[in-house]
Amino acid sequence: MRQILSFVCLCLLVLAQANAQIRDGSPARPLEVILIPADGGTEDGTKADFLPLFDAITQASGLSFRVRVGQSYGAAIEAVCTGLADIAWLGPVSYREARDRGCVELLAVESTGGSATYYAGIFALKESGITSSAELNGKSVAFGPPQSASSFVFPASILLESGIDPLKDISEVRIGDSHTSGLMALDNGLVDAAAASFVSFERAANSGAIDPSRFRVIGRSRPIPNPPLVVAQSMPGATSAKLRSIVSRLHELPGIRPEDIRGYGGKQVDRYDTTLTDSDFDTAFSPVEKIDATFTAAMIRRAGTYR
């Protein structure tokens, strides 16, 4: 039985790679784009955020795209690593994982006001009286997916720097499938604190999912590189080079509206920066190196399940 399953998996991988070879960006064979489900991954959420951007790239380059949202961060990584996707929008953590597997190379990172970074926060309700992340000893905390930089990795590091060991000092660890799920758990009084990016917090507030007036920021991360656009290593060099050239100049090209250049959370951004390198990401992650695979596995065991 195991040999049969291995054979089936091999066949699926071969088919995926064969399909990747015939996707040329024409309307009949569009390039496949996969997005992480940063804010739940709904059709009117993450996918809708990026459709204007890829429509603009089509207008400027003549390349066609089919945009989809992965069921999870891991699913998005697998899609681009197994030939099911040509381009991906990944979180900083999932990008580094895919890069270390030799699957992808950096394409571009959104930039606004000269900054290509964003921030993670830890939030509590004002009524709780909690004013600092250092006060979370014995409290319950909701995190996002372990492959999320801003709802898991950097918030866990904030706690460690505050003298709180999430593996020992927190009464309950919850791990959700999105930033919003943790914020909603906090809003409903199910936890004492929640971790999320400020982009996701603003989006949840604007959508009515939470009441922002009840929330207080009790921890703020170091700058995190914005979630990058990446291309599969298997993409032909000419196509990759064309994409890079167009994306780097998209904000300057005639006929492209500023409101079409969008990024994380559907926000309008100034441009996409193609000059960032792997070392920029590695430098940003060096302060959180304690949040490694061993730590993450222990956190998942503490949580017991995703919620």
pLDDT at 163 over 90: yes
Q: Is the predicted pLDDT of residue 41 greater than 60, yes or no?
A: no
43: confidence class by pLDDT, cuts 50, 70, 90: low
42 pLDDT band (50/70/90 cuts)? low
User: 97: closest CA among 304, 262, 292, 260?
Assistant: 292
Q: What is the pLDDT of residues 130-145, one digit of tens each?
A: 999 999 999 999 999 9
d(CA 154, CA 142): 13
User: In the chain, what percentage of residues exceed pLDDT 70?
Assistant: 90
Multiple choice CATH, 118-224+286-303, 3.40.50.300, 3.20.20.105, 3.40.190.10, 1.10.3720.10: 3.40.190.10
Q: What share of the chain is helix, strand, coil (3-state, %, to 5)?
A: 45, 20, 35
> Sorting pLDDT into bands at 50, 70 and 90, what band is 189?
very high
The pLDDT of residue 46 is 87
pLDDT (0 to 100) of residue 229: 98
Q: What is the mean pLDDT of residues 100-113?
A: 96
The pLDDT of residue 71:
87
* Rounded alpha-carbon distances, angstroms, from residue 65 to 13, 40, 99, 235: 21, 22, 22, 14
For residue 239, what pLDDT band results from cuts at 50, 70 and 90? very high
**In this prediction, what percent of the chain has a pLDDT beyond 90?**
80
Going by pLDDT thresholds of 50, 70 and 90, the confidence category of residue 10 is: very low
User: Boundaries of CATH 3.40.190.10 in the chain?
Assistant: 2-116+226-276, 118-224+286-303
* Residue 16: per-residue pLDDT: 47
Is residue 105 exposed (0-12), middle (13-18) or buried (19+ Cβ within 10 Å)? middle
CA distances in angstroms from 304 to 141, 175, 290, 299, listed in the order given? 14, 9, 21, 9
- For the chain, the average pLDDT equals 90
Distance of CA 12 to the CA centre of its chain: 26
Q: What is the mean pLDDT of residues 108-136?
A: 97
| Structure confidence at residue 180 as a pLDDT band (50, 70, 90) | confident
Select from 3.40.190.10, 3.90.420.10, 3.30.460.20, 3.40.50.720 the CATH code of 2-116+226-276. Answer: 3.40.190.10
Count CA atoms closer than 13 A to 169's CA, side-chain side.
13
Quickly list H helices, the chain.
Answer: 2-22, 48-61, 73-81, 92-100, 154-161, 179-187, 198-207, 237-249, 278-285, 293-303
Instruction: Give the pLDDT of residue 265.
Output: 85
Residue 182 has pLDDT above 70, yes or no: yes
Residue 244 pLDDT class (50, 70, 90 cuts) = very high
3-state secondary structure of 192: coil
Residue 119 pLDDT greater than 70, yes or no? yes
DSSP 228-277: PEEEETTS-HHHHHHHHHHHHHGGGSTT--GGG-B-GGG-B-SEEE----
Residue 21 has pLDDT above 80, yes or no: no
pLDDT of 20 above 80:
no
